[in-house]
């Protein structure tokens, strides 16, 4: 299925139009880079994987856009799409916010998981959309856990793209427990000698960074991505004043030994394939179902 | 005077005043040699009634204040009562020794155990030394090192949680505070020995769960367990830091909430008026709860124990699966929501 057809089937053309209008100028042909203010031709931007050709700014991608540029064409099969959020704490306004983001993204949750092939390697794939700030609540954590369990039982690697502001505050302590749940699921996958590749994208902070996102055998990041323990607003609350200019960026994390490489968007897929070749070898890739 | 004492909470003031009256009469009794024991007994009854009444109406925010009470017993106060022969062990073998995280080997009745927990400081100097109970990566890595010692020598692990949060300073970030917490949760989930965690005071977010992936998670009656402090959450979510009391209620952070949500296994009752009114009794309650759970856990083969630990955390969370809704004969009827509510 083509990207456009998939998107249409998921959310309908009207919602797609809403999403596109977010960062496009009125005629939709041109868009302004939020970092360097360069006016970019939308089609060129798409061709450049939504990276500014002038300053290298990496636009945030929707889950589908990420899948499209990552997997071998037509190989993605979503799983667990039927998991939906309830309001376990009866937290004020939570349902309304969930409904708003369902409309905005066409998704039931920010975490989208499925099976796909990358460079001919069958993998379990997790990608994230900017749904409730990419925050991890019960549905998100459950999807991650189920992805790792399925990958473990089918002897598949897991490739995970993270984009999250942290734990879903509206689900309180249950969100905190998703950190333990996902970390435990990674442990079992890892014990089965299966590779786990993480790509940290802007932003990956707090509860997600302090759980499955930091547990990859290979951890990559997009340039300039905000990556860190305290979410931006929590850090502001804590009054962290004296900090280096690159604090909590991909570059800071690389400098301090927390990630393997920074990968410009165009290099991500080829690098994942090299890693999968290294881990899985031919005999594994040919007979994995 | 008690009313100006910063270690007395506002809602404790009536109790403190009665305490002061009782103490005054006791002093006079000693000085004048007059027996006023009946008067004292009556005042003590009044005080205990006052405590019961006040504590029957505590709000979630009051529990936050109790969990952070300046007189609340801290981890090492419990350790002194619960364990014998505690030998503190230092350092993560990688960078340093984190004073906010303490641990070592100890005996508990007739058992050898490994203990780890966060330690807060009592006065300003000690608070700084303990970094307000906020551990850095070095603390989490020390804790994991000790837990792996426990696994190697087949000794159970006891962890005590009392932290506002993990440290989020620049050097904590530089040494991988996220990675250290994530790694602890991952390795604890498969650690081949029984683990019991007790939330003593503040169960602050990642800082807490980083040492609390356990077979049994127990929680003191007036402790809190939260994904974010209510003050910060009100500022971020409602953009109104003054609504911290409402947020404390909305986040459901009390021990009763944690039990109902399936996040803890048991709530340990505190002495009348809170653990700080009788630290020794509070510690004895913790000790007997730990012993009771250990006896159960020690009977379970390790692989079964580890599998059960996985299932326990695996089942936390509440959601629905709309793909599992039963197919209906009539298309018009609204399918019934099948709530996939899992409990530990
Ligand atoms: Zn630019």
Q: What are phi and psi of B197, to 5 degrees?
A: -115, 140
What contacts B30, CB < 8 A, 6 or more positions away?
none
Integer angstrom CA distances of residue A203 from A87, B166, B335: 25, 20, 38
Residues 260-319 of B with CB under 8 A from A: 261, 263, 309-310, 313-314, 316-319
Whether the pLDDT of residue A1 is over 50: the answer is: no
Whose tokens are 């007395």? That residue is: B8
Do both A157 and A35 map to the same domain? no
* Helices A265-287 and A63-70, packing angle to 10 deg: 60
Cis peptide before A25 (omega within 30 of 0): no
> Is the domain of A94 the same as that of A20?
no
Strand partners, B341: B318
Same domain? For A15 and A113 the reply is no
CA distance B120 to B103: 13
pLDDT in tens, chain B (344 residues): 444 688 999 999 999 999 999 999 999 888 888 888 899 999 999 999 999 999 999 999 999 999 999 999 999 999 999 999 999 999 999 999 999 999 999 999 999 999 999 999 999 999 999 999 999 999 999 999 999 999 999 999 999 999 999 999 999 999 999 999 999 999 999 999 999 999 999 999 999 999 999 999 999 999 999 999 999 999 999 999 999 999 999 999 999 999 999 999 999 999 999 999 999 999 999 999 999 999 999 999 999 999 999 999 999 999 999 988 755 444 433 434 333 333 32
Q: Supply the pLDDT for residue B35.
A: 85
| pLDDT tens digit sequence for A149-202 | 999 999 999 999 999 999 999 999 999 999 999 999 999 999 999 999 999 999
Grouping H, G, I as helix, E, B as strand and the rest as coil, residue B213 is: coil
Do A86 and A164 fall into the same domain? yes
Residue A55 pLDDT: 96
Give how many domains chain A has, as a whole number: 2
Domain membership of residue A20 as a residue range: 1-59
Closest CA to A28 of A46, A12, A11: A46
Pair (A48, A70) in one structural domain: no
pLDDT at A245: 84
Residue with tokens 């000698």: A193
| Domain identity same for A55 and A80 | no
Distances (CA, A) of A82 to A106, A108, A138, B105: 13, 8, 13, 48
Per-residue confidence (pLDDT) for residue A212, from 0 to 100 = 98
DSSP B58-125: --HHHHHHHHT-TTS--HHHHHHHH-EEEEE----SSS---TTEEEEEEEETTEEEEEEEE---SSHH
Q: Which residue of chain B comes nearest to A144, CA vs CA?
A: B314
B110: CA distance to ligand 1 center in Å? 67
Residues A52 and A69 in one domain: no
Q: In this structure, are A39 and A96 located in the same domain?
A: no
How far is the C-alpha of A111 from the C-alpha of A113, rounded, in Å?
6
Write out chain B residues lying below 8 Å of A230, CB-based.
168, 173
Does residue A222 share a domain with residue A100?
yes
* B192: number of Cβ within 10 Å: 13
Structural contact between residues B344 and B312, judged by C-beta atoms closer than 8 angstroms: yes
| Per-chain residues with Cβ under 5 A from ion ligand 1 | A 33, 35-36, 38, 52, 54-55, 57
- Rounded to an integer, the average pLDDT of A76-87 is 97
Measured over the CA atoms of residue B28, residue B33, residue B39 and residue B44, the dihedral's sign is positive
Question: Is residue A49 domain-shared with residue A72, that is, in the same domain?
Answer: no
A287 within domain boundaries: no
Instruction: Verify that A50 and A121 share a domain, yes or no.
Output: no
Indicate which CATH number applies to the domain containing A219: 3.90.226.10
Ordered alpha helix ranges (H), chain A? 3-11, 13-21, 42-47, 63-70, 94-105, 138-153, 172-191, 206-209, 232-237, 250-255, 265-287
Does residue A289 lie within any of the structural domains? no
In 3D space, the residue among B127, B122, B126, B103 whose CA is nearest the CA of residue B113 turns out to be B103
Interface of A with B in 121-150 (CB under 8 A): 137-139, 141-142, 145
> How many Cα atoms within 13 Å fall on the side-chain side of residue A279?
23
Q: Does B177 touch chain A (CB under 8 A)?
A: yes
Looking at beta carbons, which residues of chain B come within 8 Å of A82? 321-324
**Tokens found for residue B292:** 């009771």
A65-82 as b/e: b if 16+ CB within 10 A:
bbbbbbbeeebbebbbbe
Contact residues, chain A, for B261 at CB < 8 Å: 88, 172-174
Q: Which of A11, A30, A59 is the last residue of a domain?
A: A59
Predicted ipTM of the assembly: 0.92
**A113 within a domain of the structure (yes/no):** yes
- Residue A224 is classified by DSSP as T
Q: Verify whether the Cβ–Cβ distance B177 to A247 is below 8 Å.
A: no
Q: Is the pLDDT score of A12 beyond 60? A: no
Residue A15 Cα to ligand 1 midpoint, Å, equals 26
Q: Taking the model in full, what pTM does it have? A: 0.91
In sequence order, what DSSP letters do the residues of A12-80 get, joined into one string? -HHHHHHHHHTTS-TTSSEEE-TTT--EEEHHHHHHTTTB-TTT--B----HHHHHHHHSPTT--EEE-
Listed by number, the residues of chain A in 46-85 with a beta carbon closer than 8 Å to a beta carbon of chain B are 81-85
- Domain finish residue from A40, A59, A78: A59
């Amino acid at each position: 299925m083509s990207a456009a057809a998939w998107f249409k089937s998921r959310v309908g053309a009207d919602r797609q139009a809403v999403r596109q209008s977010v960062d496009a100028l009125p005629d939709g042909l041109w868009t302004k880079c939020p970092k360097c203010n360069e006016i970019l031709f939308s089609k060129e931007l798409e061709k450049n994987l939504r990276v500014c050709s002038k300053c290298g700014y990496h636009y945030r991608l929707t889950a589908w856009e990420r899948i499209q540029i990552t997997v071998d064409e037509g190989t993605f099969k979503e799983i667990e799409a039927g998991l939906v959020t309830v309001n376990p704490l009866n937290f004020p306004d939570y349902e309304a916010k969930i409904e708003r983001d369902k409309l905005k993204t066409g998704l039931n949750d920010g975490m989208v998981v499925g099976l796909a092939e990358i460079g001919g390697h069958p993998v379990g794939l997790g990608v994230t959309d900017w749904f409730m700030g990419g925050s991890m609540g019960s549905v998100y954590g459950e999807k991650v856990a189920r992805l790792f369990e399925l990958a473990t039982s089918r002897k598949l690697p897991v490739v995970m793209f993270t984009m999250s502001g942290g734990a879903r505050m509206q689900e309180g302590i249950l969100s905190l427990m998703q950190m333990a749940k996902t970390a435990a699921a990674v442990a079992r996958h890892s014990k089965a000698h299966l590779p786990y590749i993480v790509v940290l994208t802007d932003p990956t902070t707090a509860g997600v960074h302090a759980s499955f996102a930091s547990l990859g055998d290979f951890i990559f990041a997009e340039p300039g991505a905000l990556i860190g323990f305290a979410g931006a607003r929590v850090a502001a609350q804590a009054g962290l004043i004296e900090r280096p200019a690159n604090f909590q960026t991909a570059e800071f994390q690389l400098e301090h030994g927390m990630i393997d490489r920074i990968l410009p968007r165009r290099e991500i897929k080829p690098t994942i394939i090299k890693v999968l070749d290294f881990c899985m070898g031919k005999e594994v890739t040919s007979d994995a179902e | 005077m008690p009313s100006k004492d910063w270690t007395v909470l506002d809602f404790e003031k009536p109790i403190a005043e009665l305490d002061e009256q009782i103490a005054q009469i006791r002093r006079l009794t000693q000085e004048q040699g007059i027996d006023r024991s009946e008067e004292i007994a009556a005042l003590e009854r009044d005080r205990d009634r006052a405590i019961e009444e006040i504590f029957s109406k505590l709000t979630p925010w009051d529990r936050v204040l109790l969990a952070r009470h300046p007189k609340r017993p801290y981890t090492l106060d419990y350790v002194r009562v619960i364990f014998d022969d505690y030998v503190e062990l230092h350092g993560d073998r990688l960078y340093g020794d984190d004073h906010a995280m303490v641990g070592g080997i100890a005996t508990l009745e007739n058992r050898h155990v490994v203990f780890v927990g966060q330690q807060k400081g009592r006065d300003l100097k000690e608070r700084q030394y303990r970094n307000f109970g906020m551990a850095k990566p070095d603390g989490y890595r020390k804790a994991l090192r000790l837990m792996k010692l426990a696994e190697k020598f087949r000794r159970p692990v006891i962890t005590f949680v009392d932290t506002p949060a993990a440290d989020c300073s620049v050097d904590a970030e530089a040494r991988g505070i996220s990675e250290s917490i994530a790694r602890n949760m991952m390795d604890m989930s498969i650690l081949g020995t029984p683990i019991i965690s007790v939330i003593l005071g503040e169960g602050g977010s990642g800082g807490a769960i980083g040492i609390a992936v356990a077979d049994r998670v127990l929680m003191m009656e007036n402790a809190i367990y939260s994904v974010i402090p209510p003050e910060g959450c009100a500022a971020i979510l409602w953009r109104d830091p003054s609504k911290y009391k409402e947020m404390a209620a909305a986040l459901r952070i009390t021990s009763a909430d944690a039990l109902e949500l399936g996040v803890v296994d048991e709530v340990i009752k505190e002495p009348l008026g809170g653990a700080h009114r009788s630290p020794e009794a509070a510690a004895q309650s913790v000790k007997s709860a730990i012993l009771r759970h250990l006896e159960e856990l020690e009977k379970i083969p390790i692989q079964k124990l580890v599998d059960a630990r996985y299932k326990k955390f695996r089942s936390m969370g509440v959601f629905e699966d709309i793909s599992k809704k039963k197919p209906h004969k009539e298309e018009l009827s609204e399918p019934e929501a099948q709530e996939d509510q899992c409990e530990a």
